Structure 1
């Protein structure tokens, strides 16, 4: 005879009931907060860059060779896989994956908080994170871009380290790094936990192996030299601190103010924790916040989407302060209510605010598509690679933005923008590509920026020798190949 199956224990039943109630709430909240992400074809140039990369990879391109970017490979591969399954004409599949990424981050934070401060703290952490996750300019918070897909891995790394699963923690840090380089900042709280648990001798080799295996695997798949150059050594100029100090300071203050407004419900408990009035146990939390702050400031660009990396440790710190013992009752409903009201404002902003740069890119893409055939290669000289994707045209070069060829990025002034500050070796490759695949159309979308062709001898000579102006679109200038003596383009 077979023995009857053991009945579930009280602890297992309680755990199942807890997540059965909490998961639907967090899932609904994740969907509601990201409704704005579905109302526009794309939100920022990062999404456009990834979409163009994915199409080129699907056509047989090789990452870090015929398709290049300063980012690790995980998200381009994810875009490529989504396009392979669902087609490349819409980012809706990536929007859905972004909702799942935010949900996974919230669930992981809830699990961490529940383990340390109890059931109510778990619910508070998950809800607070999702409410503040949209508290930036919608083009930063709603895009299906690098930080959104990096955060589940950073949270998973801390979750695994909190449970002394060092190999898994290392793999999660590697996955975060392979999504965006600053995801490697999660290594600091992991190492903090490793040290505090006295497990350095036994855990460090497993942590190192867990980290090294995915990174080495990605390097072998893409080519070690190209992987190292494009993810680490080739970005020195971009990560430098040169540029317009006032412009950089203004962006830093503006995005910090936005995040502070979104975190209005979190600020009082965080202030109490900082003043020491509420005991928040766990130096790992402060280490996580500090490493995330360093990651945001790295390179002195202070783009809004960088600030998303601060949100998981901020939500956990506020949760710890709210549920510390002893403490005044009824603090956490006020924090959640305040965060919810602010969240509504940011979601409304995402639904209603106009996006003039997207409208410009759409008009320019329509003009490019009108003047070229589907098989033509084109060059869009600017910082909006989404134009290629919207127009359905293949780039004439592996360099999808002028930034890679001039070092232009937000905050750079004209003093360190030009051919001399490009990614090392880029201009010879660029000239060779334009000779091999001469673009049928060149769209100069610089619109008075420091990377205008007038300041770049190579591009200026190219336009003068073989192209003629044919149209203007919102300040962008379109050049078509001029016919040669025989009536064909040179």
Structure 2
């Protein structure tokens, strides 16, 4: 017979432990939800924050009108986020991005919860709470255009942290699937595969178990979702070109390397200013060691943080791919940085209060910047969109010659071409110089496709020259210059944007 004298206290202890665990999350998750909403509340102040949002919104409308992704609707990005935009527009209409902003807040909340779970498993309950809270405070620690927009990196982060968390628990198949979901949101999300493989290697060394079965699970989990999307849900040839092989010229070092270095250092400095308090434990230890004093610790190290450093390194490489160093790329660095910072504080004698106080102050500053961020470009774009809408009917098509596809969405007019920016037809990309920009550097067969679209669907009613002083101005692109000279006349100028309309016959 069982020993009831010992089994009852054990059962009571198990129930109490389960209650404590449940209570931990029921208290923490609502707090994180409030903070996620508060920090990203400024995202609702503008109709659109970045060209990426405008591109995705325009793509979603084209898909809803019967467009085919990687055929008549193209971009160099994976399909999950365009499909998410399309689904939201189908449910809530396409006149506002507020459903996507709510989902973006949900993505930040999910990331915070996963980071809290990871930190709690490594350094205890308090570290878990602070990991979630500090991530949300740091998550707006870049330019508001990069942190308040509902774009690729935001929706990539939950799957990225989930892949790391699954690998920690040796759930290799699930880790592979999470890496695939991350990669299908943005290609650079696949960089989290490196820490996953690192943890597999370390687990094999510690436990002496064979690695091939686990590696096979990771590979299968990674390959299956991508194969499903590529072979069944999209056109395989188009998926391969636009997502994998067709970005070679886009992702090369241009001639304007001083500007690239400046942008890289500038965004690094901004992110550093948001999380500067995480350096306190390291500075404290260095100061004590230089004075040859003992280094006190609050708690045990509880294992190596090498996997976090590998994660940070792989994310840094991903940020550097393409040499653009845009601010929103740096969102990928935040999860490993937060975990490393939380771990450093949790195992040092540095108190939590100054760390939280500094991050709160920095977050408040970035929040204020988002509220009062200058809107001259958005104002001009909105004025141009209003003028375009006034010059056309919903049945007319429009061609925007520039890098601001949000004009299509704001004007609620159909694009005349699948190429929503001039970059596809000239190889121009923001932040790089004018080297290798022109008709001859376009995406393969882009001009033939463009000519076919114009021939089949007719000339766009309105042509918007939004090139300004860029190296792809119409007079530097003979086909566009000829098109304007032959068929169009100027009907308006707003700032450096010129609006043309078909000549009356």
What is the TM-score of this pair, normalised by structure 1?
0.94
Q: Does 1:287 align with 2:307?
A: no
Quick one: distance in 2 between partners of 1:116 and 1:245?
Answer: 41
Counterpart in the other structure of 1:361: 381
> Which residue of 404, 412, 415 corresponds with 2:424?
404
> Which residue of 469, 476, 483 corresponds with 1:448?
469
Counterpart in the other structure of 1:47: 53
> Which residue of 155, 162, 170 corresponds with 1:156?
162
Per-residue deviation, residues 453-474 of structure 1 (Å, max 9, x unmatched):
1110111111112112222121
Q: Does 1:216 align with 2:239?
A: no
1:11 CA drift (Å): 2.1
- What is the total number of aligned residue pairs between the two structures? 476
> Which residue of 206, 211, 218 corresponds with 1:207?
218
Counterpart in the other structure of 1:36: 42
The gaps in structure 2 that reach 5 residues or longer are 1-10, 290-294
What is the 5 A alignment of 1:410-425? 410-425=430-445
1:371 CA drift (Å): 0.5
Q: Does 1:235 align with 2:247?
A: yes
Per-residue deviation, residues 424-468 of structure 1 (Å, max 9, x unmatched):
111111111122221011011111111111110111111112112
Contact 1:102 1:152 in 2 (8 A): yes
Quick one: distance in 2 between partners of 1:374 and 1:456?
Answer: 29
Contact 2:152 2:185 in 1 (8 A): yes
Q: Does 1:195 align with 2:201?
A: yes
Quick one: distance in 1 between partners of 2:185 and 2:396?
Answer: 32
Counterpart in the other structure of 2:91: 85
Contact 1:272 1:321 in 2 (8 A): no
Quick one: distance in 2 between partners of 1:81 and 1:411?
Answer: 32
Q: Equivalent residue of 1:414, what SS?
A: coil
The gaps in structure 1 that reach 5 residues or longer are 1-5
1:232 CA drift (Å): 1.1
Quick one: distance in 1 between partners of 2:115 and 2:306?
Answer: 16
Contact 1:243 1:411 in 2 (8 A): no
1:411 CA drift (Å): 2.2
1:479 CA drift (Å): 1.4
1:295 CA drift (Å): 0.5
> Structure 1 stretch 386-395 or stretch 448-457: which is displaced more?
448-457
Contact 1:63 1:222 in 2 (8 A): yes
Counterpart in the other structure of 1:469: 490
> Which residue of 63, 68, 79 corresponds with 1:73?
79
Quick one: distance in 2 between partners of 1:266 and 1:386?
Answer: 37
- Residues 208 and 270 of structure 1: is their aligned pair in 2 closer, same or farther, counting only changes over 3 Å? farther
Counterpart in the other structure of 2:394: 374
> Which residue of 178, 182, 188 corresponds with 1:176?
182
What is the 5 A alignment of 1:328-347? 328=349, 330=351, 332-347=352-367
Counterpart in the other structure of 1:266: 278
Quick one: distance in 1 between partners of 2:328 and 2:21?
Answer: 35
> Which residue of 115, 136, 140 corresponds with 2:121?
115
Quick one: distance in 2 between partners of 1:460 and 1:273?
Answer: 64
1:266 CA drift (Å): 1.6
Q: Equivalent residue of 1:415, what SS?
A: coil
Contact 1:239 1:300 in 2 (8 A): yes
Per-residue deviation, residues 223-243 of structure 1 (Å, max 9, x unmatched):
111001001100001100113
1:272 CA drift (Å): 6.1
What is the 5 A alignment of 1:293-304? 293-304=316-327
Quick one: distance in 2 between partners of 1:180 and 1:270?
Answer: 33
Counterpart in the other structure of 1:351: 371
Contact 1:270 1:318 in 2 (8 A): no
- Residues 329 and 357 of structure 1: is their aligned pair in 2 closer, same or farther, counting only changes over 3 Å? closer
Q: Does 1:309 align with 2:332?
A: yes
1:274 CA drift (Å): 9.1
1:407 CA drift (Å): 1.4
1:336 CA drift (Å): 1.0
Per-residue deviation, residues 37-91 of structure 1 (Å, max 9, x unmatched):
0110010000000000000001110000000000000000000001000000000
Quick one: distance in 2 between partners of 1:304 and 1:432?
Answer: 37
Counterpart in the other structure of 1:253: 265
Contact 2:278 2:345 in 1 (8 A): no
> Structure 1 stretch 429-438 or stretch 187-196: which is displaced more?
429-438
Quick one: distance in 2 between partners of 1:133 and 1:69?
Answer: 26
1:267 CA drift (Å): 2.4
Quick one: distance in 2 between partners of 1:468 and 1:254?
Answer: 42
1:10 CA drift (Å): 2.3
